Amino acid sequence: MEYIAIHSSIPIPCIVRHSIDRDGGGVGSLYILMTKVDGVPLCSVWNDMDDNKQEVVLQQVIDILLQLSSLRFNSIGALMKGDGVTKPTWHIVPMLTVTDSYGSEVLSAILHQMYMSVLDFWVAYANKKLQCVTNDEFGNNISGEYAMFWFMHSLIPSIYDTSLNASGFLITPGNFHSQNIMVTNIDSSLLHITAVIDWEFTVTNPTSSFARYPLFIVNHPYWDVDHSLKTRNVKDQATFNQLMLASESRLHPGEEPFLSWAFATCHGLYLFEQCIQDPMMFSALYDDLFQHIFCEYDEKESFLGSYYHALMYGTLKNQTVQFDKEADVCKEAIAVLGKDLVPFEISRSEFRALVLDNVDKFVEGGEVHSWLATYSKL
């Protein structure tokens, strides 16, 4: 927040005092004391605004985004303040230094370092995702799931435009949602944003991840087909694109409007990042991602099924054979030890430890002994 206050005119609360010590310097807890801001959360009034007022708000949101887009660093990570003698210095650290991975094995594995390339970041993410699918769901029929994440992995080099980050990675607030945008003078021509609050999970991001429509004009994937806001959000996104292009062109006359282009073409990247990061979004949006990549086609299910059959028994045949073999190994273990001892969700290492503890119960030359003999090669 201090960096934003120094390097932009984005309205935010002022920090009066804060402490990150466990006891708060005697207070008894970590704390932050900020000045109160005027207004109400945008989420409480947005749906009741007419088109003109919504356009006023969207223009101010775009002005904020354009300011943020000028605040760039040379790596993907979290912003930290250094010990400058005459003025503050700023540097990027691994995200895991300042944020919680929330128990995510993928995040814990990749956020311990910084990334100098958008491709490096998402390839690392996708590789770890494939590794987790392989290791954490032992004995299940995971060939299809593996193929879907392999497909997403294969998209990365073509859907991310590295030239957009030639000038660095952009400061991106983690919670830039309508509940954190405060507005005032709702019923007058002086309607304006008074503050953006909640900067807790701010990081530096690639332009392609920064360029996302504000969530209050994005359709939720679990809405009904005839949800009343769907049509309005499509219209608001078109208005957003027009306003962004006009504003960026005024701010950088004669230059390519790269940010406008990134926003206008963000849908595929939005689908990709939602699917690869969030299991709930994966189930809701994966078909949309697949269709977005292959455009409109007939007999969607037939084509999708044929595509993955070709993957599983072509390019990914070795993995499919391995998963089928492991399913047979798991079946033998369940038959010998029982379902209570062999849970449905078990990792490869947990399964190995379990069968080693009971190795004398399995017949020599059976599936389990054969698998144990080759474990170190997997």
pLDDT in tens, 97-128: 777 666 688 888 899 999 999 999 999 999 99
Q: What is the per-residue pLDDT across 321-371, written as a single tens digit (0 to 9) for each?
A: 999 999 999 999 999 999 889 998 899 999 999 999 999 999 999 999 999
Query: What is the C-alpha R_g of the chain?
Result: 25
Which pLDDT does position 352 carry in this prediction? 93
The amino acid occupying position 357 is D
Distance CA(163)–CA(273), nearest Å, equals 19
Q: Which residue has the higher pLDDT, 376 or 153?
A: 153
Query: Does the pLDDT value for residue 300 go beyond 60?
Result: no
Query: Using alpha carbons only, what angle is made at residue 86 by residues 85 and 87, rounded to the nearest 5 degrees?
Result: 100
Q: What is the per-residue pLDDT across 38-78, written as a single tens digit (0 to 9) for each?
A: 999 999 999 999 999 999 999 999 999 999 999 999 999 99
Residues written for the chain: 378
Query: Does the pLDDT value for residue 201 go beyond 70?
Result: yes
Query: Does the pLDDT value for residue 295 go beyond 90?
Result: no
Q: Who's near 257: CB < 8 A, 6+ residues apart?
A: 244, 245, 248, 249
Distance CA(275)–CA(271), nearest Å, equals 6
Mean local confidence (pLDDT), 282-292: 92
Are 122 and 160 spatial neighbours (Cβ–Cβ below 8 Å)? Answer: yes
At 373, list the tokens.
Answer: 């003999």
Strand partners, 183: 40, 193
Query: Does the pLDDT value for residue 188 go beyond 90?
Result: no
pLDDT range class, residue 88, cuts 50, 70, 90: confident
Which pLDDT does position 302 carry in this prediction? 75
pLDDT range class, residue 227, cuts 50, 70, 90: very high
Distance CA(335)–CA(367), nearest Å, equals 12
Are 20 and 32 spatial neighbours (Cβ–Cβ below 8 Å)? Answer: no
Q: Which residue has the higher pLDDT, 251 or 375?
A: 251
Query: Does the pLDDT value for residue 297 go beyond 70?
Result: no
pLDDT range class, residue 298, cuts 50, 70, 90: low
Q: Which long-range contacts (CB under 8 A, 24 or more apart) does 233-240 make?
A: 236/54, 236/58, 237/213, 239/54, 239/55, 239/58, 240/58, 240/62, 240/213, 240/214
Burial code (b: 16+ CB inside 10 Å, e: under 16) for 176-188 equals bebebbbbeebee
Which pLDDT does position 296 carry in this prediction? 66
Could you tell me the pTM of the whole model?
0.89
At 329, list the tokens.
Answer: 């190994």
Question: In the chain, what are the domain boundaries?
Answer: 38-310, 317-377
Query: Does the pLDDT value for residue 84 go beyond 80?
Result: no
38-310: CATH topology is Aminoglycoside 3'-phosphotransferase; Chain: A, domain 2 (3.90.1200)
Distance CA(210)–CA(247), nearest Å, equals 17
Mean local confidence (pLDDT), 196-209: 92
Q: Among candidates 270, 172, 261, which has minimal Cα distance to 218?
A: 270
Which pLDDT does position 129 carry in this prediction? 94
At 131, list the tokens.
Answer: 């590794």
Q: Among candidates 255, 274, 162, which has minimal Cα distance to 212?
A: 274
Are 92 and 79 spatial neighbours (Cβ–Cβ below 8 Å)? Answer: yes
Mean pLDDT for the chain?
91
